[in-house]
Structures are given as C-alpha cells and as structure tokens.
Chain A
Amino acid sequence: MSDQLSVATRKGLFIYDRHPHASPHWLPRAEVQFLGDPVTMVLADPRSATLHAALNLGHFGVKMRRSSDGGQNWTEVAVPAYPPKPESAADESDAAWTLAQVWALERGGPDQPGLLWAGTIPGGLFRSLDGGDSWTLVRSLWDRPERREWFGGGYDHPGIHSICVDPHDSRRVTIGISCGGIWQTRDAGETWDCRASGMKADYMPEERIGDPNIQDVHRLAQCAANPDVLWVQHHSGLYRSTDGAASWQPLVAQPSSFGFTVAVHPQDPETAWFVPAAKDACRVPSHAHLVVTRTRDGGATFETLDHGLPRAPAYDLVYRHGLDVDASGKRLAMGSTTGALWISEDGGNSWTCLSAHLPPIYCVRFSPG
C-alpha cells in the first residue's frame, strides 16, 4: 500500500504521509511546497526515486520542478517546449502553438528507464528520455491532420490529460484528449491510431456524434492487471473497453453518468470508481449530495457510496485528476474544487475527511508503495 499522497492545488503542493498510530492516519507535512503557486500535475517515479511537479505560474508560464529527496528540495528542470511555429501554420487550428499547461505526467515502463511522457494543452504529447532533463514533442501525433480538428474542452484549447502506459507492453501507450478522443500507439510512439469507436458525443451535430476524433474523453484509466480493460468518463457518459480500446461500450450509472474522473482497481478489471455531477449544464453533485459510484461487475450495476462524505448541501466537484487509487486497490484519495480532501482505506465503503479547507484541488496522487 502507498503511504504517501501528493495533493496538487491551485495554491501549492501538499504532501500527506500515513502515520499508523495517528488519528486520522494521514497528516500533512508542515511545509507546503510552492505555496501560492498553481501546481497542475505531480508524478512520483520509483525508478529514479524522484518526484516531479508541473507548475503553471500565471504570469511566467509553465515550470517543471524535480525532487530527489521526497519533496523537500526541488530543482528547476526543463519544460516541454513547442518547436517554432512554422509560417504555414497560421490558421485557427494552430493558433495556440505554445505550451499552456502540463496536464498529464506519466513514467514509461520498467524497461524504459528515464522515459517520461507529458500531456499538454494545446494538445502536444512530449517525451523525455532522460528523466525530465529534456523533452521532445511527439511529432508523429502532433503532425497528424486529425489533430487540427481537436478542440478545447474545459480549457480554450485541446489537451492531453490521460496517458496509460501498458504495464505488460510499455510500447503500447493509450492517451485521452479533451476533445480529441482516444489515441493509441503500439510502437512506442512511432505511429498512432484513433481508438474511440463506439463513443457518442451528444453535444455535436448529428453527423459528427460518432466521430472518434472529436470525442470529449474527460478521463481515461487502465486496469494494471488486465490492460485490455480501460474505462472512460466521457462528457456524455461512461464507457468501458475490454479489447484494448478497439471498441467501447456505454454504461449507465445513477444518480448521473456525468462527471470528470474515473479510477480503476489495479487488480480487478471489473471494479472502477466515478464521482458524478448532476449534468453538463449543472456541474455540482446531484441534489447537492456528494457521492462516489462504484461498480464491481464491469459496469453492469453501480453502488452509491457516501459514508463519511458531507451531508447535503455539498457542492464539491472532483476534476479529472481528483481521484486516485493505490496499488492495493483499497486506498483511494479524492480532492474537490472546493478544497476538500478525503481518504478511503476500504475501497470506497467509507471516507475520512482530511481537510475541508485546502485550495481548489487539481490532482491527488499516491506515490507507489
């Protein structure tokens, strides 16, 4: 199980450690990292015992920091920079040819030491081969003509928010894009295929509803034990694939299938968690009652979990990276835009509030145990 939790917020990075004899078990460290600055993503890399943080300084742009001592001291390291925009790329689809945000950070496989992936707004995927000392735009995806049809969802421009590296074959990487569907490489990024068949974008004109390339995938997650099973929280509902993203089947949950996040049990491909909001036009919990929904039968049925979560009215919204599960599948963390943070140690059956007064939470992430 993981005993360290990173909480990236609008105003800094808060690191919690588990103390078995304390109550509650999880306590924040006294020193907040980057206090006052937005931290959009964090990644622990056990291969190099490093912690990576992506900041988005309002005035001064995106910055990357790396720590080799568990988050106490940080070094400024290279930022994924877009190459010079060519003169030919002058139309609207390339208007945002510059780094706006690091929205996803993932490590490569154990057989790829030093390899990191970064997903960004406005839609560029970057790769580092040296643990973040340098980054290169993955042109094989960026230069695809379909990329120019992606559009913003949540932000003004498209963004890669989910990167799933297959634990059984690290050359197979599947990414989720708002709004650009699902894309997958099976040769470590040499070539890419759009893999969102079966998804429906009900916000689009009828003739484009089923277009895989414009699907607004809010979050994509992969089962570590069975990487052919992937789950999606989509703008228009929930989806599951059992064939490595070749096809997607819609699911329906109560009280709502709208939301932003999904977490998948690392060993059980039948189990996943979602945090619903009422609907697109009303992004708060249904009936102001915050719940987590869990399926343990592959999405056939869903349970509604709220033990330990606040009584109504509660208007907490959980963003794409605001829900995480550790490698045991029992510990979950959840953070909201209202600045509330919860932990569950029993697979979501019950929750403990660690704080209701943090800054708006962008990302919660367990460090590998």
Chain B
Amino acid sequence: MPQIVFAPAIQRHQPCPPLKVAAGTVSAALGQAFSAQPQMRDYILDDQGRLRRHVAIFIDGRVIEDRLHLTDAAGETAEIYVVQALSGG
C-alpha cells in the first residue's frame, strides 16, 4: 500500500503520522488522510478545494504533474510526500 507523509512544517499545526492508503490517485490518498484528520484538509486545500499554491506534493521524489485535479497515480509501494513550498522570510 502506498504511504502518505506530511512534512514536519505541516505537522507543527496538524500532527499526522505516516498513513497507509489504498493505491490510486493523489486525490484519493488525500481524501483518506483527511478522513483520519479532518482539520488537515484546510491546510492542504483552499476553500475551493484546490491544492494551496504554496503546498507541493511529490510521489517517490517526483513532483506531481496534475496540481489541479490531483490525478497522478500512486502505486503499491509509492510514497506520497506533502510539503510546504519554500517561500517568504
């Protein structure tokens, strides 16, 4: 099963250990994580359900291609890594 991991900067606000999820799309994986931790949703998606501009998602070290609909596939052994984009001062 793929695993979804939230970076420490996110866990500072919303503690969430690495979570095994069903293989499928990034969108489905996030949905499972939000079920386990409902308040996480607001940190990752905006009020229109879009991935926040300063949040990045990687699958096995490669940034996802579909930020709009989150349809990138995560296979059985994939690690989905959700991280803040570096910005600000």
Query: Which among B23-31, B44-52, B58-66 touches the partner chain?
Result: B44-52
Bound complex: CA A63 to CA B12 (Å): 14
A79:B42 contact, CB within 8 angstroms: yes
B47/A79 in contact, CB under 8 A = yes
- Distance (whole angstroms) from the CB of B67 to the closest CB of chain A: 14
Counting CB contacts under 8 A, is A205 at the interface? Answer: no
Complexed CA–CA distance, A61 and B43 (Å): 6
Instruction: State whether A61 touches B52 (Cβ < 8 A).
Output: yes
Chief secondary structure at chain B's binding surface: loop
Contacts of B87 on A, CB cut-off 8 Å? 58-59
Q: Which secondary structure dominates chain A's binding surface?
A: loop
Q: Are B84 and A59 in contact (CB under 8 A)?
A: yes
Kindly list the 3 A-B residue pairs having the minimum CB-CB distance in the complex, ordered from nearest: A81-B47, A59-B84, A60-B43
Contact B54 A82, beta carbon cutoff 8 Å = no
CA distance A215 to B13 in the complex (A): 39
Chain A residue at minimal CB-CB distance from B10: A60
User: Closest residue of chain A to B55, judged by CB?
Assistant: A59
Known: A79-B47, A82-B48. 15 other contacts (CB 8 A): A57-B43, A59-B52, A59-B85, A60-B13, A60-B44, A60-B54, A60-B55, A61-B52, A63-B42, A79-B42, A82-B47, A98-B46, A98-B47, A99-B46, A99-B47
Across the two chains, which residue of chain B brings its CB closest to A80? B47
Given contacts A79-B47, A98-B48, contact A59 B9 (CB under 8 A): yes
Q: Does B48 contact A61, Cβ atoms closer than 8 Å?
A: no
Question: In the complex, what's the smallest C-beta–C-beta distance from A133 to chain B, in angstroms?
Answer: 14
- How many residue pairs bridge A and B at CB < 8 Å? 43
Chain B contact residues, CB within 8 Å of chain A: 9-10, 13, 39, 42-44, 46-50, 52, 54-55, 84-85, 87-88
In the complex, chain B residues whose CB is within 8 Å of the CB of A58: 54, 87-88
B48 to chain A, nearest CB (A): 5
Q: Which of B10, B39, B52, B55 has the most CB of A within 10 A?
A: B52
Interface mask (A330-369 → B, CB under 8 Å = 1, otherwise 0): 0000000000000000000000000000000000000000
Q: Which residue of B lies closest to A36 (CB)?
A: B12
Q: Are A85 and B48 in contact (CB under 8 A)?
A: yes
Taking CB atoms, residues of chain A closer than 8 Å to B49 are 84
**What chain A residues lie within 8 Å of B13 (beta carbons)?**
57, 60, 63
Contact call A59/B39, Cβ cutoff below 8 A:
no
How far is the CB of B73 from the nearest CB of chain A, in Å? Answer: 25
User: Quick one: which of A57, A61, A63, A76 contacts B46, CB cutoff 8 A?
Assistant: A61
Set of chain B residues within 8 Å of A82, measured between Cβ atoms: 47-48
* Cβ distance B89 to chain A, nearest Cβ, rounded Å: 9
Interface residues of A in 106-146 (CB under 8 A from B): none
Say whether A97 faces chain B, with CB atoms less than 8 Å apart: yes
Query: Which residues on the A side are within 8 Å of B42 (C-beta)?
Result: 60-61, 63, 79
A81 / chain B contacts, CB cutoff of 8 Å: 47
B44 nearest CB neighbor, chain A only: A60
Q: How far is the CB of B51 from chain A (nearest CB, A)?
A: 11
> In the assembly, what is the distance between CA of A85 and CA of B46, in Å?
12
Contacting B at CB under 8 A, from A67-98, are 76, 79, 81-82, 84-85, 97-98
Residue of B nearest to A100 (CB): B46
Give Cα distance in the complex from A97 to B47, angstroms: 9
> CA of A165 to CA of B27 in the docked complex: distance in angstroms?
43
Smallest beta-carbon distance B28→chain A, Å? 20
| Residues of chain A contacted by B47 (CB below 8 angstroms) | 79, 81-82, 98-99
The contact sample of 27 A-B pairs, CB cut-off 8 A, is: A57-B13, A58-B88, A59-B9, A59-B52, A59-B54, A59-B55, A59-B84, A60-B13, A60-B42, A60-B43, A60-B54, A60-B55, A60-B84, A61-B46, A61-B52, A63-B13, A63-B42, A79-B42, A79-B47, A81-B47, A82-B47, A84-B48, A84-B49, A97-B48, A98-B47, A98-B50, A99-B47
A60 touches B52 (CB 8 A): yes
Q: Which residues of chain A from 12 to 57 have any CB-CB distance to chain B below 8 Å in the complex?
A: 57
Residue of A nearest to B40 (CB): A60
Specify which of B13, B39, B44, B84 lies most central, judged by the most chain A CB atoms within 10 Å of its CB: B13
